[in-house]
Structure 1
Amino acid sequence: MEASERKLRDAGELRSLAHPVRMRLCQALYERGTATATELAEMIGESPANCSWHLRQLAKYGFVEEAGGGKGRHRPWRPVPRMLSWGDSDESGEVAAASDALSMQFVEQEFAGLRDWQAWRRTDPPEWQDAAYWMQNIDWLTVEELKELNEAIAAVILRQRKRRDPAERPLGARRIRVFAWAVPAEPYAED
């Protein structure tokens, strides 16, 4: 069951998550449900010792937890399911810098995923190639319309959130990357 939203407001927790290996570990755990450091190492291409160390760092800040059973690298871990948010306008100093670093790490990860897909997409069956989609657009919106647009995008994306549980995934479902943004195209200027 999805817990309430967690607002990341501490520079340490923001920095702990803004690491490429830790982000991949969290993603792998959400896909798998539970896994050991050894299993995760195979999934993300890192050593079991490195995964174990990073899992302990993620656990320190409450992003993952031990699932019980096993010892050392053979103990299973699971994600702590919660929507995360950060990047509020009132952040400053160290928190703002850590928040921006986490946001940039997410952007880099998602653009890498898009580049990877572009490289191998022609090897997919035609129906998967045709179902995949990306777009670019620039429009003129008020602040209220921008909020409405972002809420509508989030609602569509979050409809499939229950499928993080492997038991909820229908036969033939594949892992799909969804990354969307609706942000101003240039800095604010008084009219």
Structure 2
Amino acid sequence: MDEPERKLRDARELRALAHPVRMRLCQALYERGTATATELAEMVGESPANCSWHLRQLAKYGFVEEAGGAKGRNRPWRPVPRALSWGDGDETGEVAAASDALSAQYTEQEFAGLRDWLAWRRTDPPEWQDAANWVQNVDWLTAEELKELNEALIAIVTRHRERRDPAERPLGARRVRIFAWAVPAEPYAED
């Protein structure tokens, strides 16, 4: 069972996660379950030494951990399965800047994934092409309705979270990018 949500409130931990290589390492570990730095290097296109260094930085802040069972280059790592949150409205200064940097890095990663899919989607079987979709809408909501909508989106997006464990994945399942947001369309202005 996953741990309760972890709220990131320290600029150092936010910056530790905001690094592009570290984000790819975390994603690769969630996909694989456990892996050595050498195996991860092949997955993310970095050197084993660089991956090992970044894994130690992620472990320092509790995002990954050693899986045990080996030492040195054969040491396996695993993700720490925990929902993360950051970006509260009361953040200021260094924490707000680090939080914004992490949000920007996540957004860029997801848009890059969408651009990649648009480039190769026609190579997928028709049933996968037809199952994939996106939706766009602009609506008028109160702050309470916006919060309710985002809670519903989170529930939908995370309903298969147990499948981060490779043993829980059904036959034929593929890794699918899910990225949703519901945010105001323009800056706040008093009426």
The question of whether the paired residues in 2 share the 8 Å contact of 1:49 and 1:73 is answered with no
The percentage of counterpart residues that share the same residue type is 85
Partner of 2:73: helix, strand, or coil? Answer: helix
Does 2:49 match 1:28? no
Task: Specify the code of the residue in structure 1 equivalent to 2:179.
Answer: F
Gaps of 5+ in 2: none
Aligned to 1:107: 107
Deviation at 1:123, TM superposition (A): 0.4
Superposition TM-score, scaled by structure 2 size: 0.99
User: Aligned-pair RMSD on alpha carbons?
Assistant: 0.6
Task: Specify the code of the residue in structure 2 equivalent to 1:80.
Answer: V
Deviation at 1:172, TM superposition (A): 0.3
Gaps of 5+ in 1: none
CA–CA distance in 2 between the matches of 1:133 and 1:144?
A: 27
Task: Specify the code of the residue in structure 2 equivalent to 1:149.
Answer: L
Aligned pair count reads: 191
Aligned to 1:73: 73
CA–CA distance in 2 between the matches of 1:72 and 1:97?
A: 36
How do 1:74-153 and structure 2 match up within 5 A? 74-153=74-153
CA–CA distance in 1 between the matches of 2:83 and 2:176?
A: 18
Deviation at 1:73, TM superposition (A): 2.2
CA–CA distance in 2 between the matches of 1:103 and 1:114?
A: 17
CA–CA distance in 1 between the matches of 2:87 and 2:129?
A: 34
Q: Which ranges of 4 or more aligned residues in structure 1 deviate by more than 4 Å? A: none
CA–CA distance in 1 between the matches of 2:164 and 2:101?
A: 26
Residue deviations 1:39-65, cap 9 Å, x none? Answer: 111111111111000000000111111
Superposition TM-score, scaled by structure 1 size: 0.99
Aligned to 1:188: 188
